[in-house]
């Protein structure tokens, strides 16, 4: 028998046309949303010259995304997922069109920017949740690790490309063209996703949406493996907010503004390397052990980051943090998807993604506060090693996750 390769397996894109359509649509969507994330703050800054109002616009969009994630989780478990995906993406595209029209006016409306940002955050999150819930049906649960790695690549490369594209478009044509291209990209995703097969739901009771969401929360607490994996993921998400210290850390290594971007690129680079070399992760005999060990390694890399005497060594620590974080996320994604019944996939994916959004925001507040109380290198080091200590504590407390061995064929049968 041939040994599995260390590198990512791309065969899923050839053997599963529906997943290939999702892969292409997700990449285009990530680029479009990334362009939006640049254009909206730029437009608000141009209109108001107020950093506070720029921050408010970002917060409003994030609130829309959070509400959309929770709403989308319930909807994805209640309605046919293909129709929901197409509806959400089409509606999101209308928001981009509205932003382009507003930006083209002689006096654009700031309120319209806020409301349309809320609109796009809400409906964009619904589409993301429905796509996540549909993935097991499109690729089979035995291919979830491979699908997760390919998805991570689209997110990382799309996140790297979109700011550069947005900057060039804004410099040459202004924010109007940025919004217009985002709308055109959304249209392309809708046309691509029309190729998806019907995605019918398993029979389940019709219940109050809040009760339906509560059932998803109850599943997390009553299914130890899923709950523990989600808890570790929350801690990794908190740590990823270390980027709020980058501007304050730059003088520590005498880094100029043109090199500051290297710190922001280092973690995504490490994550991309993790995804590209994830070929053997699906064959791990103890996925829970891998989640715990890679999370602890990521936290140690973060603690060492603030201790590095030179900028290149600090960048290497950030790359290592991104690499180990991606391993944790990939195995966590596969475990949660595989152990969640199809009828709950929408809600569990929405809760998991909402946890990431909330964790990143909380982490930014915590690390930012530490950076104001301590010197920035001290704050990064203390936070990283404190997270490592918590990771070691989880190692000892989560014995069931650490010892878990999935069946030879699929994880799906062990959902308790």
What would the pLDDT profile of 161-174 be if each residue is shown by its tens digit?
A: 776 777 788 778 78
Q: With a threshold of 0.75, does the pTM exceed it?
A: no
Closest of 355, 362, 363 to residue 66, by C-alpha: 355
Q: Is the pLDDT of residue 51 over 70?
A: no
Mean pLDDT computed over 363-389: 85
Residue that has been written with the tokens 């791990």 in this structure: 284
Orientation angle between helical segments 110-139 and 81-104, nearest 10 degrees: 150
Nearest of 289, 295, 292, 281 to residue 334 by alpha carbon: 281
- CA-based R_g, the chain, Å: 21
What's residue 412's pLDDT? 39
Residue 281 has pLDDT above 80, yes or no: no
The tokens describing 86, both together, are: 């197409």
The values of phi and psi at residue 309, to 5°, are: -80, -15
152, 323 in Cβ contact below 8 A? no
What's the chain's average pLDDT?
A: 80
Q: Which residue has the higher pLDDT, 204 or 60?
A: 60
Neighbours of 30 (CB within 10 A): 23
Convert the pLDDT of each residue in 126-169 to its tens digit: 887 887 777 777 777 677 767 777 777 777 777 667 767 777 88
Contact at 8 Å (CB) between 339 and 223?
yes
pLDDT at 411: 41
Taking the C-alpha atoms of residue 240 and residue 20, their distance in angstroms, rounded to an integer, is 29
The predicted structure's pLDDT at residue 97: 93
> How confident is the model over 324-339, as a mean pLDDT?
84
Distance, in Å, from the CA atom of 384 to the CA atom of 380, rounded to the nearest integer, reads: 6
Model confidence pLDDT, tens digit, residues 205-243 = 666 667 777 777 778 777 788 888 888 888 888 888 887
**Nearby residues of 11 by Cβ (< 8 Å), 6 or more positions away:** none
């Amino acid at each position: 028998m041939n040994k599995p390769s260390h590198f990512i397996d791309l065969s899923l894109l050839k053997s599963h046309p529906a997943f290939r359509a999702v892969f292409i649509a997700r990449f285009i969507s990530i680029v479009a949303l990334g362009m939006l994330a640049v254009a909206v703050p730029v437009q608000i800054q141009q209109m108001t010259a107020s950093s506070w109002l720029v921050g408010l616009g970002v917060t409003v969009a994030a609130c829309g995304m959070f509400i959309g994630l929770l709403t989308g989780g319930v909807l994805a478990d209640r309605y046919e997922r293909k129709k929901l995906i197409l509806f959400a993406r089409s509606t999101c595209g209308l928001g981009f069109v509205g932003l382009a029209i507003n930006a083209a006016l002689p006096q654009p409306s700031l309120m319209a920017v806020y409301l349309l940002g809320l609109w796009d955050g809400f409906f964009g999150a619904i589409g993301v949740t429905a796509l996540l819930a549909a993935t097991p049906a499109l690729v089979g649960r035995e291919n979830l690790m491979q699908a997760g790695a390919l998805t991570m690549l689209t997110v990382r490369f799309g996140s790297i490309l979109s700011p550069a594209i947005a900057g060039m478009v804004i410099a040459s044509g202004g924010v109007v063209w940025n919004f217009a291209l985002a709308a055109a990209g959304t249209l392309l995703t809708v046309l691509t996703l029309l190729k998806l097969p019907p995605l019918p739901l398993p029979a389940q009771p019709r219940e109050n949406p809040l009760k339906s969401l509560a059932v998803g929360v109850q599943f997390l607490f009553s299914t130890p493996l899923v709950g523990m994996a989600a808890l570790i993921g929350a801690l990794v998400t908190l740590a990823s907010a270390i980027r709020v210290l980058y501007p304050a850390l730059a003088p520590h290594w005498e880094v100029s503004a043109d090199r500051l971007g290297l710190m922001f690129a280092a973690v995504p680079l490490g994550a991309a390397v993790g995804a590209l070399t994830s070929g053997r992760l699906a064959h791990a005999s103890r996925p829970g052990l891998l989640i715990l060990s890679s999370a602890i390694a990521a936290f140690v890399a973060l603690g060492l980051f603030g201790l590095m005497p030179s900028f290149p060594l600090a960048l290497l620590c950030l790359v290592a943090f991104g690499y180990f974080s991606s391993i944790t996320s990939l195995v966590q994604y596969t475990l949660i998807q595989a152990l969640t019944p199809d009828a709950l996939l929408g809600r569990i994916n929405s809760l998991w993604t909402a946890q990431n959004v909330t964790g990143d925001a909380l982490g930014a507040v915590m690390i930012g506060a530490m950076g104001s109380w301590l010197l920035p290198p001290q704050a990064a080091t203390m936070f990283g090693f404190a997270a490592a200590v918590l990771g070691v504590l989880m190692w000892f407390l989560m014995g069931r996750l650490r010892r878990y061995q999935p069946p030879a064929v699929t994880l799906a049968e062990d959902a308790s």
